[in-house]
Amino acid sequence: MRFPLTNVSTQLASYFLSVPLLLGLASGGCTGTNPDQAGMDTDMAMSIDAAVPPGDSDGGADLASVPDADAGALLTAACNNLATSICNKLASCSSHYTSYFYGDTKTCVERVKLTCAPYVKLNGSSWTIDRLQACAGAYTAGTCDDYFAPGGPAACRPQPGKLKDGSVCANGNQCQSALCNLGVSGCGTCVTPAKKGAACTAALPCELGLSCVAGKCASEGTLGSTCGLNQPACKTGLYCKGTACAAQLAVGTACDPNATVTECNPIQGLYCDTTARKCAAYKVVRAGEACGTVMGATVLCGAGGSCTTTGTSRKCVAAAADGMACGPASGSTTCMSPASCSSSLCQVFDPASCK
């Protein structure tokens, strides 16, 4: 996923998102396609990606025990329910993210559903229909803090699967350790994560919700926690003000446009206006409309689109459809999440390719 703001705390990989986290939440351009992929661009991405159904080690409806036709219907209904719950909660917590990444809630549901069934069917996955339904209920009843928490609500976080450490995986719920350490390809290896305070490396990542800081696993900073060099990043909704985590600023609040941290709340679509030196809201527009700096305001392209220069003007170009050309040489340089531009085509990552 891409997002015009920096210094937004990340985790996972997301939801989808570490996410899923979110979004990755591995950081790096249009890469938010795998629910466990760390390094996405935003917490939203992380939370969205975290929505991929986690494993369920305590029983529940098992698709393997019902006829194929019935299993397919159950899975389709459960995935639709989960995607609807996720997108409705996203819209209530951040209408900006909904507009920017998807355009509207209906499109969000259709896109999020693409990341459900393929992960449910993975080898060794321990999730069940009951778990999927519990996850949907947790998004519906949960708070915005729950939504943006690493891995999403507690009911949605990965549970132990059947694959041993060292096995190839695409998602944490396949692994007995509940963690798949992913590489840039989107595939990874099951590993037992390091606990809080323990040593960590790229090959030995921390438990979900922890980050590797100065070689040790640590929790995200809460309001008032110490932050800065060799300190944990502040949790979603906070930023490092001096040496302590503080709440990100609301619209109309004075800010420093030269700050190296994200002072204005990006979840609410805010940025620091360089002229007024106050937090202002981005305007998100459709394909064909003017974008960039328009009448002194910063205008972004919605629904995953890109702002393209044509002659002396800049206009939004819609994201390319799945399977269509993308990149600098195409008419559209971007893809809509969860697709990414691979081999110059918009493609949704296939977790079944991890073998």
For residue 202, the cross-strand partners are none
Residue 323 CA to residue 326 CA, distance in Å, equals 9
Burial group, residue 327, by CB count within 10 angstroms (0-12, 13-18, 19+): middle
Instruction: Say yes or no: 187 and 301 in one domain.
Output: no
Residue 39's pLDDT is 31
| Residues of the chain scoring pLDDT < 50 | 1-61, 64
Indicate the burial class of 61 (C-beta count within 10 angstroms; 0-12, 13-18, 19 or more).
Answer: middle
> Based on the domain organization, do 167 and 299 belong to the same domain?
no
**What is residue 282's predicted lDDT score, i.e. its pLDDT?**
96
Q: Choose one of 192, 208, 225: the last residue of a domain.
A: 192
β-pairing, 297-301 vs 283-285, is: parallel
* Spatial separation of the C-alpha atoms in residues 241 and 130, rounded to whole Å: 43
Residues 175 and 42 in one domain: yes
Beta bridge partners of 317: 306
pLDDT at 122: 95
* Amino acid at residue number 287: A
Tens digit of each residue's pLDDT (9 = 90 or more) over 263-272:
999 999 999 9
Question: CA geometry: angle at 33 spanning 27 and 37, to 5°?
Answer: 50
- In angstroms, the Cα distances linking 228 to 200, 232, 244 are 19, 8, 8
Can you give the pLDDT at residue 70?
75
Q: Which two tokens stand for residue 13?
A: 């990989």
187 in a domain, yes or no? yes
Q: Does residue 159 sit in the same domain as residue 33?
A: yes
Looking at the domain assignment, is residue 122 inside a domain?
yes
Domain that holds residue 317: 292-353
Instruction: With beta carbons less than 8 A apart as the criterion, state whether 211 and 201 touch.
Output: no
Is residue 349 in some structural domain?
yes
- Note the pLDDT of residue 44: 32
Q: Answer yes or no: is 301 within a domain.
A: yes
Q: How many domains does the chain have?
A: 2
Q: What is the pLDDT at residue 237?
A: 94
pLDDT of residue 262: 95
Q: Which of 163, 192, 221 is the last residue of a domain?
A: 192
Domain assignment present for residue 214? The answer is no
- Kindly state whether residue 213 falls inside one of the protein's structural domains: no
pLDDT value at position 146?
95
The predicted model scores a pTM of 0.81
- 46 with 175, same domain? yes
Flag whether 184 is in a domain: yes
Domain final residue pick, 157, 192, 227:
192
Cα 231 to Cα 327: distance, rounded to the nearest angstrom: 37
Within a domain: residue 65?
yes
